[in-house]
Chains A and B, each alone.
Chain A
């Protein structure tokens, strides 16, 4: 790890003053569970590390008329201890549980989860976010792409968005607040995640001088939501595919649906056809099955990841059935 300057500001304002114009100038440290690995592997070599740990205003979960405000520095464990989250946002709780290591849940933060870098193994080996070989060719296309994207994978990006909260928050229609020295902006989570289109692009809208301060989820009451992740191991493993759903209901009928696939594309991937197919329907096994099928329509698997199409399909089906299951 290259030597760096460590700053421990007490306010967001102070923190913003310590960030730079380029990613090389300064990086934000939340729990550090991802940042430290990146720095140890020299994937990121910031001159300054700005810790958010001392900033109180970035903590806390509050219920407001507008919904739920989750501070960026809320740990996954705190989220899982919140009764409001457990009762109204089971899809978020399930995403947090999916980060299947107590250590990660105790230290990792919600903001960090959204801003974490992709786990593409070529990226982590130092071949860059777009994973290119010496003559600019994609390593992913010809290489081992078993964990890569099956949607939006025509290049140059092939990685999958790592965050499990991403799909759940997109399904709920949540927003994030991004603050910089120039001011603050609110962005739907759906717009926060991006598939880079060139060398300069990143996997999200965050700018080098910006901090993600909070997440705003609309009221959960009356919205049936669930996350289903397909993972092989019980602990310390990533989902192979996942789906988060949020259903606005009238009685048993779906009024409108949001279905978002996780770990299948460079961004959380909305299955709009599948969403439309649910309107006015009662969700039962056959409907859920059909919605799963519709959700993977148009998938373009690479050489080694066709199996993920089936997994995504099953994830949608199971998430839907979970969402409409009678709650205890």
Chain B
């Protein structure tokens, strides 16, 4: 049901701002270094916090003595974070923190804290389920249809093992904050995905009123799902500042601690057996999967396999959650979806190869198993488009037929699916008598372009250029907006901004209607004018119209109602990615030639930042497919690559070409705005792994596809 008034988006042909490629408003500030991240905040007398962590994967802390640290040069406060007798379940766990007048002095002081541990046995790898013992918690078997009969009836059966390890969020701006107390209140500069909520959450644990926290954050350097909470360091950071007489304490995790405890994405390993018919129909799915997300294990919500192709009639699935001595998982951009897509699309391409069916035809054939939204036909159109852009017909060869040279080329496919809608969001629009416009939301821009989208929606609605709208976000004095998770931000803020700016404009129409001699509902805003619908020559310039306000500004709210969004926003998107790689079969090194990403996201407000979300997502997929993994040492139980040297992320030279195709056809546009943060990061790993397999003719089962794994597959040494 449409809202009253009708807030719906202007018709495509009437849009002047929405849908136009618009550069990020903070692009210059960021690229020139003038943007101030919370990490950059300087305060008078700023102190530096540092954290001492446990070096053992599993231990009981037997004693802790910070006496010497307390007296150490420059130290203003010490916090003990673990008590004698406490059992510690992973290396990197915070046991003490100090504040000091410089970062070096803080770190030197940490070395004077005496901690003793009784080391306990650890388990840090889940790959070999047989070794997990009581740390493995199987859930019951789920059966649909008659898998045994389906395997008997199948023309071909394919069996394989597939694995995707734990990776870290590795935010370039590490987790942390600056906190400065003023009496019983404090100023708070976190790096967060939850600007409106985080201050209140921290106030609660500190047992002070939520109103006592003033939260600010202008820009932030990456969260990917790991920055919703204030975290332990928010709490002890606040205490360190308080103990230091309120002086500001900057406490951001160092890279090593960041990689150890500030977020990881669970693994997924699976033994999968599939059966199908000669015509390319997959008839049965059987999987035994296991995963870890740290000490809490790694669960998989029931029935999530196979990914996208969930409607396959015969299924048997078991899943085992394994607890290991590593920090807890956190939501990682499209939680669990990349892993599910990886095991599904890889197993399915293996079945296609067994059946001798071209994977494009094979996936197309089985798309009837996909759910209703976005639906089989939308996926089919995307698959066709992706195949065309990837030159599938020209470049694809059946497995193992990639020529006689030592460098082999291959193509592979991956699918993605995601929800959307919008988080709760309130927006306040102020129109001043001098014509200035201010749009305020307690939201955050994770680097995705949220600020720019807000300005574009306001400019479109008010008939103004983007530069005429002042966007204020990143402060909890503004009306609250939800956390940026689940790809709900663009939906939430675009709906609340649309409504708020329309409400403000309606008030302006009321004021200027008498001067133009028509009822307010006969007015429209366009080209920096308020004009009469149908006779645009009867108009007032925006400035002249605003002058009629006299001394009173207009200030109107707008809210994204999560239920009944009134057609402004939607949910349920899909995408298809095709990777094209070359593999040096002598060295096992994989080079990316190209990734094609076809994606829908409903109505596209800013094609430029939308595409850039897809580019970024593809980069993450290349890292996860080829180089990135958390290396846990079986002996010490520690992460061996908690740095940016051996925690290998893809670089610009490793990327190849990326082609992004956004679906902008009318049937997509009419669904309203749908978030794009997560969907494009799902299918890429599967696509790349499938491309490598297509190139070399055998499946290296576990990503990342480093030379050792590719060579092992080539030599038939698959574990």
A324 within 8 A of B: no
Select one of B107, B638, B651 contacting A234, CB under 8 A: B651
Complex CA gap A67/B596 in Å reads 52
B313 at the interface (CB under 8 A from A): no
9 A-B interface contacts by CB (under 8 A): A1-B107, A2-B108, A121-B640, A139-B635, A142-B635, A147-B646, A232-B706, A304-B708, A307-B711
A143–B631 Cα distance when bound, in Å, is 11
Q: In the docked arrangement, what's the CA distance between A232 and B584, Å?
A: 11
Stretch at the interface among A110-118, A165-173, A218-226, A235-243: A235-243
- Residue among A42, A127, A236, A307 making CB contact with B645, cutoff 8 Å: A236
Question: Does B645 lie within 8 Å of A314, measured CB to CB?
Answer: no
Q: Tell whether, in the assembled complex, residue B712 and residue A307 are in contact, meaning their CB atoms are under 8 Å apart.
A: yes
The residue that A314 contacts in the complex, of B586, B636, B654, with Cβ under 8 A, is: B586
- B707 and A311 within 8 A (CB): yes
A327 at the interface (CB under 8 A from B): no
Is A144 engaged at the interface, CB distance under 8 Å to the other chain? Answer: yes
Instruction: For A235, list chain B residues within 8 Å (CB).
Output: 651-654
Is residue B43 within 8 Å, beta carbon to beta carbon, of the partner chain? no
B326 within 8 A of A: no
A312–B588 alpha-carbon span in the complex (Å) = 12
Known: A133-B635, A142-B635, A232-B706. A310 touches B711 (CB 8 A): yes
Chain B residues bordering chain A, tally (CB within 8 A): 33
Nearest CB in chain A to that of B711: its residue: A307
B650 & A233 in contact (Cβ 8 Å cutoff): yes
With an 8 A cutoff between CB atoms, is A47 at the interface?
no
Report A295 CB to chain B, min CB distance, Å: 14
**Any chain A CB within 8 A of the CB of B555?**
no
Is A230 interfacial (CB-CB < 8 Å)? yes
B477 at the interface (CB under 8 A from A): no
Cα-based distance from A234 to B640 in the complex (angstroms)? 22
Number of A-B contacts (CB under 8 A): 83
User: Is B527 in the interface zone, CB < 8 Å from A?
Assistant: no
Find the A residue at minimum CB distance from B631.
A144
Q: Is the CB of B587 closer than 8 A to any CB of chain A?
A: yes
Known: A1-B104, A125-B640, A233-B650. A143 touches B712 (CB 8 A): no
Query: Are the C-beta atoms of A230 and B634 separated by less than 8 Å?
Result: no
B427-455 interface with A by 8 A CB criterion = none
Contact in complex: B627, A233 (CB < 8 Å): yes
Note all chain B residues with C-beta closer than 8 A to A146: 708
Q: Say if the beta carbon of A119 comes within 8 Å of chain B.
A: yes
Question: A125, B638: Cβ atoms under 8 Å?
Answer: yes
Instruction: Collect the chain A residues with CB atoms within 8 Å of residue B646's CB.
Output: 121, 147
Shortest Cβ distance from B303 into chain A, in angstroms?
A: 36
- Show the binding face of B for A, using Cβ within 8 Å: 104, 107-108, 111, 586-589, 626-627, 631, 633-636, 638, 640-641, 643-646, 648, 650-654, 706-708, 711-712
CB of B673 to closest CB in A, whole Å: 37
Contacts of B712 in A (CB 8 A): 307
Residues of A within 8 A of B645 (CB): 119, 236, 238
User: Which of A2, A234, A311 is within 8 Å of B653, CB to CB?
Assistant: A234
Asked if A143 contacts B651 (CB within 8 A), the reply is no
When distances are taken between beta carbons in the complex, the residues of chain A under 8 Å from B653 are 233-235
Q: Is A182 an interface residue (CB 8 A)?
A: no
Cβ-based interface call for A3 (8 A): yes
Contacts of B644 in A (CB 8 A): 236
Size bin of chain A's contact surface: 20 to 34
Given A144-B640, A311-B587, CB of A232 within 8 Å of CB of B650: no
Q: Apart from A304-B708, A307-B588, A307-B707, what are 14 other A-B pairs with CB-CB below 8 Å? A: A1-B104, A121-B631, A121-B646, A125-B638, A232-B626, A232-B648, A232-B707, A233-B651, A234-B653, A238-B645, A306-B708, A307-B712, A311-B588, A314-B587
Taking CB atoms, residues of chain A closer than 8 Å to B634 are 142-144
Given contacts A233-B627, A233-B651, A314-B586, contact A139 B107 (CB under 8 A): no
Whether A3 pairs with B651 at a CB distance below 8 angstroms is no
Residues of B within 8 A of A311 (CB): 587-588, 707
Docked CA distance A127–B104 (Å): 22
Inside 8 A of B104's CB, which chain A residues have their CB? 1, 3
A139, B633: Cα distance in complex, Å:
9
- Find the A residue at minimum CB distance from B643: A124
> A230 to B633, Cβ gap below 8 A?
no
| Closest residue on chain A to residue B715 by CB atoms | A310
Cα–Cα, bound, A119→B645 (Å): 10
Give chain A residues whose Cβ lies under 8 Å from the Cβ of B111.
Answer: 42
- What are the residues of chain A within 8 A of B638 when measuring CB–CB? 125
3 interchain residue pairs of minimum CB distance: A234-B653, A307-B708, A143-B635
- Residue numbers in A under 8 Å from B648 (CB-CB): 232-233, 237
Could you tell me the distance between the alpha carbons of A3 and B650 in the complex, rounded to whole angstroms?
36
Identify which of A121, A234, A240 contacts B707 (C-beta below 8 A). Answer: A240
Which residue from chain A places its CB closest to the CB of B641 in the assembled complex?
Answer: A121
| Alpha-carbon distance A139/B111, docked complex (angstroms) | 24
Q: Is the CB of A139 within 8 A of B636?
A: yes
CA distance A240 to B627 in the complex (A): 13
- Which residues between 183 and 216 of chain A lie within 8 Å of chain B, taking CB atoms? none
Q: Give Cα A305 to B707, complex, Å.
A: 11
The docked-state distance in angstroms from the alpha carbon of A1 to that of B650 is 30
- Using Cβ atoms and an 8 Å threshold, which residues of chain B touch A144? 631, 633-634, 640
What is the bound-complex CA distance between A235 and B631, given in angstroms?
20
Chain A: CB-nearest residue to B642: A125
Instruction: Looking at the assembled complex, report how far the CB atom of B607 sits from the nearest CB atom of chain A, in whole angstroms.
Output: 29
* CB-nearest residue of chain B to A308: B708
Nearest CB of A to B581, in Å: 13
Shortest C-beta distance, A142 to chain B (Å), equals: 5
Find chain B residues with CB under 8 A from A143 CB: 633-636, 640
| Contact residues in A for B643 (Cβ distance below 8 Å) | 124
Nearest-neighbour CB distance to chain A for B652, whole angstroms, equals 7
Interface mask (A228-261 → B, CB under 8 Å = 1, otherwise 0) = 0010111111101000000000000000000000
* Minimum distance in angstroms from B710 CB to a CB of chain A: 9
Chain A nearest CB, measured from B586 CB (Å): 5
List chain A residues, Cβ under 8 A from B654: 233-235
**Contact residues in A for B707 (Cβ distance below 8 Å):** 230, 232, 240, 307, 311
B711 touches A230 (CB 8 A): no
CB distance from A247 to the nearest CB of B (A): 22
Kindly state the separation between the CA atoms of A240 and B646 in the bound complex, as whole angstroms.
12
CB contacts (< 8 Å) of A314 on chain B: these are 586-587
